[in-house]
Amino acid sequence: MSFKVPRGTQDILPGESEKWQKIEGIMRHLCHVYRYPELRTPMFESTELFQRGVGDSTDIVQKEMYTFEDRGGRSLTLRPEGTASISRSYVEHKMYGYADQPVKVSYLGPMFRYERSQKGRYRQFVQFGVEAIGSKDPAVDAEVIELAMRVYQEAGLKHLKLVINSLGDKEVRDAHRDALIAHFEPHIGEFCADCQKRLQQNPLRILDCKVDAANPLIEQAPQLTNYLNEESAAYFDQVKKYLDALGIDYVVDPNLVRGLDYYNHTAFEIMSTAEGFGAITTLCGGGRYNGLVEEIGGPESPGIGFGMSIERLLLALEAEEVALNIENDLDLFIVAMDEDAKLKAVELTSSFRVKGIATEIDYAGRKMKAQMKAADRLNAKYVIVLGGSELEEQAANVKNMETGDQEKVPFHDLVNYLLAHK
């Protein structure tokens, strides 16, 4: 019998996991600078939270959730995204009462969607996201977009495109919805069974249907931009003004609708324009969700945020052939020539590690030559060889593996020497 990881999931092995940590480090640093402390929520929530939050008519809720009943008969769902959970937490902990609004938080962790797995689309993926809840200042929209762009720029990506749109307020969406129904209704027979249901439930979802994408009626559909009222248009202008002030380039795409129900006003996606990136070009998606907090039982608290997966960021780095600057982290390898030397090596290794010097020794009973080879393979910065004469002299040669230089250092000075040189 042999076991494999479940479809759509992956093991991140050492060698690869360093890249993840590097990216996560960039994210954590930026969250510190932009003041988005981490909020950790459970990996599963009550199913109803996502039905109400993400929306009953979305693909996520209809087809992609990992939903199960626990032994107490409760329906629970592995989180497919973070915004609903963060909003729940905002309400549950009465964060709307905090003196400082918006409440700005970030999250980083696995999300689960039962999707057709392919390159860039997984069933378990790691999403980094931020949410700012409790303000409808368009400057917050610009801040959130800037932060998302900064993550990619700091990682070294160059081929990026920011696409923005306004989905307007409720009045705008209702008028657009009526226009969509009038547009599609006479021809709805040509569409897939899902779209036929979507017509009354949420006709906006027809626009991003994967089955009917090629139907010309989709391209000819009434565009939401043409229904923007004065207030929504003014809000969108403000967002653009702030983006201009920040020097952030963008393209306005009236067809950008996003696949979750909670959005209104600002919607945005960041795409990779790198050649060979593959079919799925969206790296990051986000937008404003005024009304979501009320939908799940809280007071009026407008919010905005984004989500991005580390998987897609790494694919974009690969497509642009950007190498992450990952430091060689082994400072020292101690080669021991015999049993007595091994005893000293174990003792020294421990004392070095206490001081933060990354140290490795041989645990495979290898001869000196094989130990030297291992030190080479592991890319150790320094090597110390311990034998009878070193123990006698209480001093050893420290060899710099890059330059080949050696220096004799007494045992009691080794820590200081290594700390000064590593």
Please tell me the total number of residues recorded for the chain in this structure: 422
| Residue 203 sits in the site that holds ligand HAM (CB under 6 A) | no
Give the range of 178-186, 238-246, 299-307, 392-400 binding ligand HAM by CB under 6 A: 299-307
Least distance CB 280 / ligand HAM (angstroms): 8
Pattern 273-292, ligand HAM, x by CB under 6 A: ---------xxxxxx-x---
Cα atoms in the 13 Å half-sphere on the side-chain side of 241 = 9
Q: Is 230 annotated as a binding residue?
A: no
3 state DSSP class of 16:
coil
| Residue 204 sits in the site that holds ligand HAM (CB under 6 A) | no
Least distance CB 189 / ligand HAM (angstroms): 30
Least distance CB 52 / ligand HAM (angstroms): 14
Q: For the CA atoms of the chain, what is the radius of gyration?
A: 28
Least distance CB 379 / ligand HAM (angstroms): 32
Q: Is 250 annotated as a binding residue?
A: no
Pattern 257-276, ligand HAM, x by CB under 6 A: --xx----------------
Q: Which of residues 79-98 bind ligand HAM (CB under 6 A)?
A: 81-83
Q: Which of residues 97-116 bind ligand HAM (CB under 6 A)?
A: 113, 115
Start-end of H helices in 133-224:
138-155, 170-184, 193-201, 216-219
Contact call for residues 131 and 305 (beta carbons, < 8 A): yes
3 state DSSP class of 322:
coil
Q: Is 81 annotated as a binding residue?
A: yes
What is the torsion angle, in degrees rounded to the nearest 10, for the CA atoms of residue 187, residue 189, residue 195 and residue 196?
110
Query: CA-CA distance, 416 to 403, in Å (whole number)?
Result: 20
Q: Is 263 annotated as a binding residue?
A: yes
| Residue 122 sits in the site that holds ligand HAM (CB under 6 A) | yes
Query: CA-CA distance, 291 to 16, in Å (whole number)?
Result: 40
Near ligand HAM by CB under 6 A: residue from 308, 314, 409, 414: 308
Cα atoms in the 13 Å half-sphere on the side-chain side of 420 = 7
| Residue 309 sits in the site that holds ligand HAM (CB under 6 A) | yes
> Under 8 Å CB-to-CB from 195, ≥6 apart: which residues?
184, 188, 205, 206, 209, 211, 212
| Residue 146 sits in the site that holds ligand HAM (CB under 6 A) | no
Exposed e or buried b for every residue in 17-31, given b needs 16+ CB within 10 A?
eebbeebeebbeebb
| Residue 36 sits in the site that holds ligand HAM (CB under 6 A) | no
Q: Which residues sit in the known binding site for L-histidine?
A: 81-83, 113, 127, 131, 258, 262-263
- Judged by the rule CB under 6 A, the positions of this chain that interact with ligand HAM are 81-83, 113, 115, 121-122, 125, 127, 129, 131, 259-260, 282-287, 289, 305-309, 311-312
